[in-house]
Homo-oligomer: A and B are copies of this chain.
């Protein structure tokens, strides 16, 4: 087995452990919030001594900040599907699909985001005011164009966006409540039905068909 340069090996180890810690942290922060999460619990879940967490992330807040930022990146990517679409049926349909997939694959990330916003966004307030606002403005323009072209009813674009966020994220953030009423976890078919229901109701609701 060939030896790697020491610095490169260290970088690999660092990357590996950071990933372990971030995965554990996302889960713990999602289920307990920032205040309820403990470094000990995250360390146990990552299978590392607590002191090692502080080696990689000096403070609890540094770790939390990284978790929130990573989530935000995923969220922004979901919007790409909406942009080159010819109209709302394809564009908003694809956006709902992407957001429902994220709720399914990253339920903990969605919850951490919800915690952060409910906490008045102490960590990501600047992102809200810059990146998210710019993103929103762009999509409002897109929706306004579709309305002007007669491709959908004249709904308020902002409130449509809020409805899209609310309905799709609800399946992640309130997943426990839904699973309780459903008497068990969602199957593939359940997710398909949920996604179809959301698409149908919203697309009809905005007069896209």
B-contacting residues of A (Cβ < 8 Å)? 30-37, 111, 114-115, 117-121, 125, 128-129, 132-133, 136, 153, 155-156, 158-160, 162-163, 165-167, 169-171, 173-174, 176-178, 180-182, 193-194, 197-198, 200-202, 204-207
- Complex Cα distance, B156 from A114, in Å, reads 26
Give the dominant DSSP class at A's interface.
helix
A166 touches B159 (CB 8 A): no
Residues from chain B with a CB closer than 8 A to the CB of A136 are: 181
**Do A180 and B121 have beta carbons less than 8 Å apart?**
yes
**Contact A34 B31, CB 8 Å, known A114-B173, A170-B165, A174-B166:** no
List the 5 closest A-B pairs by CB distance, nearest first: A35-B36, A205-B205, A166-B170, A33-B33, A159-B197
The residue of chain B having its C-beta at the shortest distance from the C-beta of A133 within the complex is: B181
Known interface pairs A32-B33, A36-B35, A205-B202. Does A181 touch B163 (Cβ–Cβ under 8 Å)?
no
Q: Is the CB of A155 within 8 A of B35?
A: no
Which residues on B sit within 8 Å (CB–CB) of A35?
A: 32-33, 35-37
A118 surroundings in chain B (CB, below 8 A): 30-31, 111, 114-115, 173-174, 176
Q: Among B114, B158, B169, B181, which residue has its beta carbon within 8 angstroms of that of A158?
A: B181
